[in-house]
Amino acid sequence: MSATPTSSIWRQACRRPLCKDAIAPRRTAQRRSLHRVPLLDHDQQFKSNGIPGFMSRDQFDTAWVDYQGYLVKRLNQLTQGTKDESAYASDLAVANARRADRASLFNVASMAHNNHSFFKNLSPDPKPMSTDFSDALTTDFSSPESFKATLLARANAMFGPGFVWLVITFGTPTEQPHPTLKLLTTYIAGSPDPRAHWRHQPVDMNTVTTNITKGDHEQTYATRLAAAIAAQNQPPKGDNPAVGPMNAGSFGRHAKDASLTAPGGQNLDPLMCVSTWEHCYIKDYGPARKREYLENWYQKIDWPKVQAAWNYSKSRIATATGKPSSPDISYGRR
């Protein structure tokens, strides 16, 4: 699946401080850490006890404390002294999604977000999902039980590291918004951010053939992008041709970011994800108990947080504000 709007706690994945040093003169030998590991809602409890019933303290130290710390350190190393040192991680991922020479920066920024998205919705005392959200899952997945079975089966079947996301989609840019809950799979550090659609990595590249020969990648991208822009500039059915192509609104065919949509792509917001990276479960579960890891993860989801993201996404469609930032979803500033 490809996509388009933006969303929110992305930038929190590697939060920068509220302000920069403004008084003391900068010393060339001094290293500044503009990107920092965000605090989880139950940060101290997790660091002391792990996540009871799901992840031991030792496993949590590896999967969050050590790994997220490593990602933030690398992000600072890769951006220090450049214009990117104060940029949000989401902006870095989007800006470098098509830069093969900066793949390392993309991977670090994208992975910092993905790993944070996995941990931020977990709770030692999770609250159940509401009737409204349960009804939405029933509408789009037949039942909450069917949703759970489909999600865990997909994650368990992934041969290799990545993430399975619950997302809310709104249709293609030429359609009227119609919120629908769906699953999206990304491999390795692939980004669910709609603006980085060429780096979703929605399949395991070890098991598919791209049919793209050496030297054809840029041409293929250019051809697809040109076709998308050409289609975007055509007056949609029902519009007044005398007015010309519309670009005044926020979503659908009027979206300002419509030219960033992959051909045939859909607008979406990510709501939550589960990680299939082995460093998240290998110490506690070994290589053969991945399914148990997934079952235990599902029992620790704090559903009110997921629903808050879902409600926000629906509200910005209903009000046609199109503003992608919210503290409840996965890509914006706080």
Structure confidence by residue, pLDDT tens digits, 184-200: 999 999 888 777 765 55
Residue with tokens 């469609």: 317
**How sure is the predictor about 92, in pLDDT bands with cuts at 50, 70 and 90?**
confident
Cβ-defined contacts of 310-313 (< 8 Å, 24+):
310/133, 310/136, 310/168, 310/181, 310/271, 312/8, 313/7, 313/168, 313/179, 313/269, 313/271
Residue 90 has pLDDT above 70, yes or no: yes
Over residues 17-45, mean pLDDT: 62
Residue 129: band (very low, low, confident or very high) from pLDDT cuts 50, 70, 90: very high
Q: What is the pLDDT of residue 8?
A: 46
Position with higher pLDDT, 116 vs 201: 116
Q: Give the global pTM.
A: 0.71
Q: What is the pLDDT of residue 310?
A: 95
DSSP-assigned letter for residue 83 = G
Provide φ and ψ at 122, rounded to 5°: -100, 150
Range of 7-11, 261-265, 267-271 with top mean pLDDT: 267-271
Q: In what order do the strands lie in the sheet with 268-275?
A: 180-187, 162-169, 268-275
Q: Which residue's entry shows tokens 């989801």? A: 301
Closest-CA residue to 332 (of 165, 195, 185) = 195
Give the chain's mean pLDDT. Answer: 75
Q: Which of 77, 81, 82, 83 is nearest to 112 (CA)?
A: 77
Tell me how many degrees the CA angle 126-130-133 measures, rounded to the nearest 5: 115
Q: The tokens of 79 are what?
A: 């951006």
CA dihedral 114, 117, 119, 124 (to 10 degrees): -160
Percent of the chain with pLDDT over 70: 62
Residue 107 pLDDT grade (very low, low, confident, very high; cuts 50, 70, 90): very high
Q: Tell me the pLDDT band of 83, cut-offs 50, 70 and 90.
A: confident
Give me the amino acid identity at 113.
H
Question: What is the mean predicted confidence (pLDDT) over 196-222?
Answer: 53
Asked if 5 and 267 count as a contact pair (C-beta separation under 8 A), the reply is yes
pLDDT at 181 over 90: yes
Look at residue 196 in the predicted model and tell me its pLDDT.
75
Query: Does the pLDDT of residue 53 top 90, yes or no?
Result: yes
Is the pLDDT at 36 greater than 50? The verdict is yes
Residue-by-residue DSSP string for 11-57 = GGGGBPPSS---SSPPPTTPPP--SBPPPPTTHHHHHHH-BTTTB-H
CB 117 within 8 A of CB 9: yes
Lowest mean pLDDT among 182-186, 264-268, 325-329: 325-329
Average pLDDT over residues 294-311: 97
List pLDDT tens digits, range 62-81.
999 999 999 999 999 999 88
How many beta carbons lie within 10 A of that of residue 322, not counting itself? 17
Distance CA 276, CA 160 (A): 7
Retrieve residue 129's tokens: 């999902």
The mean pLDDT value for 187-215 works out to 64
Which pair of tokens denotes residue 103? 């793949």
